């Protein structure tokens, strides 16, 4: 016959079980705010590109999106347990998103590759940069393929990785590349508007953390939200453009 548990041992065991069920991790709310800003400004940019290509204001607002996504990509690469799976996940959704992307923007099936391909190359670039490997030239060379963002996009992602290590050099590099592209596309320089909030978060001045249960479904939902949102909103925009879009707004 088993001996009854001592009261102190029983209480200790119960407390440990409760703690195990209530394990939490720190959750950065401002990082989630950055994701929301990136998604919203990207959507505004796509509204401009697809429906109102001559409305410059929408494209200016949209310039905040890619630098913010690039910074988040660096954070994601640093926090992921498996960088290889991170790249494969991005590539998987790149393939899924290609047809909605082509339809929404009026390209041929592979006339231009969507932004997920650029993000995949960006993660590879970050990994190789962290290793100080000369192979970093491979993703940069691949950016000359017809990928959305092209070499500028890959450069911005690498610059955000540099900014995480040395804020001064990162800021100067980001300023330089936007000035460099000024003659080609002056609207692109409005990407600099994303810099203050990125710097505030990186410095820790704009950081609000909370404890969240490991068993919560919220982390998984927010993890995959953008992956699913990207092809879905492009599909919706294509359907609106091809079937229902019959009005215009004044150019700004």
Judge whether 217 lies within some domain: yes
pTM above 0.75, yes or no: yes
Domain of residue 204: give its range: 27-244
Judge whether 2 lies within some domain: no
Pairing of strands 24-28, 209-213: antiparallel
Q: Kindly indicate the confidence band of residue 72, based on its pLDDT and cuts at 50, 70 and 90.
A: very high
Range 100-103, long-range pairs (CB < 8 A, 24+ positions): 100/231, 100/232, 100/234, 100/235, 100/238, 101/231, 101/234, 103/234, 103/235, 103/238
Range 109-115, long-range pairs (CB < 8 A, 24+ positions): 111/146, 112/146, 112/147, 112/148, 113/145, 113/146, 113/147, 113/148, 114/148, 114/230, 115/66, 115/148, 115/149, 115/153, 115/230
Q: Kindly indicate the confidence band of residue 244, based on its pLDDT and cuts at 50, 70 and 90.
A: confident
Judge whether 7 lies within some domain: no
Task: Please tell me the distance from the alpha carbon of residue 39 to that of residue 214, in angstroms, as a whole number.
Answer: 25
Task: Please tell me the distance from the alpha carbon of residue 119 to that of residue 64, in angstroms, as a whole number.
Answer: 16
pLDDT over 80 (residue 69)? yes
Please identify which residue in the block is written with the tokens 């029983």. 10
The 3-state DSSP class for residue 31 equals helix
**What total of structural domains would you count in the chain?**
1
The pLDDT value recorded for residue 208 is: 61
The pLDDT value recorded for residue 249 is: 43
Q: What is the mean pLDDT of residues 177-203?
A: 89
The pLDDT value recorded for residue 26 is: 63
Residue 149 phi/psi, 5-degree rounding, is 95, -30
For the segment 108-144, what is each residue's pLDDT rounded down to a tens digit?
888 999 999 999 999 999 999 988 888 888 888 777 7
Judge whether 5 lies within some domain: no
Number of neighbours of residue 223 by Cβ within 10 angstroms: 11
Judge whether 194 lies within some domain: yes
Task: Please tell me the distance from the alpha carbon of residue 115 to that of residue 152, in angstroms, as a whole number.
Answer: 12
Judge whether 123 lies within some domain: yes
Q: Kindly indicate the confidence band of residue 58, based on its pLDDT and cuts at 50, 70 and 90.
A: very high
Judge whether 10 lies within some domain: no
Judge whether 4 lies within some domain: no
**Rg of the chain on CA atoms, in Å:** 22
């Amino acid at each position: 016959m088993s001996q009854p548990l001592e009261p102190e041992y029983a209480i200790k065991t119960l407390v440990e079980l409760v703690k195990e069920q209530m394990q939490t991790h720190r959750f950065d709310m401002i990082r989630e705010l950055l994701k929301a800003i990136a998604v919203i400004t990207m959507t505004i940019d796509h509204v401009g590109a697809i429906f109102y290509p001559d409305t410059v204001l929408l494209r200016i607002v949209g310039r905040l999106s890619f630098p913010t996504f690039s910074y988040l990509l660096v954070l994601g690469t640093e926090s992921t347990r498996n960088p290889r799976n991170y790249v494969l996940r991005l590539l998987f959704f790149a393939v899924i998103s290609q047809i909605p992307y082509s339809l929404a923007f009026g390209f041929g099936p592979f006339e231009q590759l969507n932004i997920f391909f650029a993000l995949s190359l960006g993660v590879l670039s970050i990994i190789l940069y962290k290793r100080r490997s000369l192979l970093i030239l491979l993703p940069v060379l691949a950016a000359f393929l017809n990928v959305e963002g092209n070499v500028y996009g890959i450069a911005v992602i690498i610059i955000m990785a540099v900014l995480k290590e040395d804020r001064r050099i990162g800021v100067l590099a980001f300023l330089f590349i936007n000035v460099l592209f000024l003659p080609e596309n002056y609207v692109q320089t409005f990407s600099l508007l994303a810099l203050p909030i990125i710097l505030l978060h990186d410095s820790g001045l704009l950081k609000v953390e909370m404890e969240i249960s490991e068993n919560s479904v919220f982390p998984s939902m927010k993890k995959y939200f953008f992956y699913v949102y990207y092809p879905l909103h492009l599909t919706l925009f294509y359907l609106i453009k091809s079937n229902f879009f019959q009005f215009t707004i004044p150019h700004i």
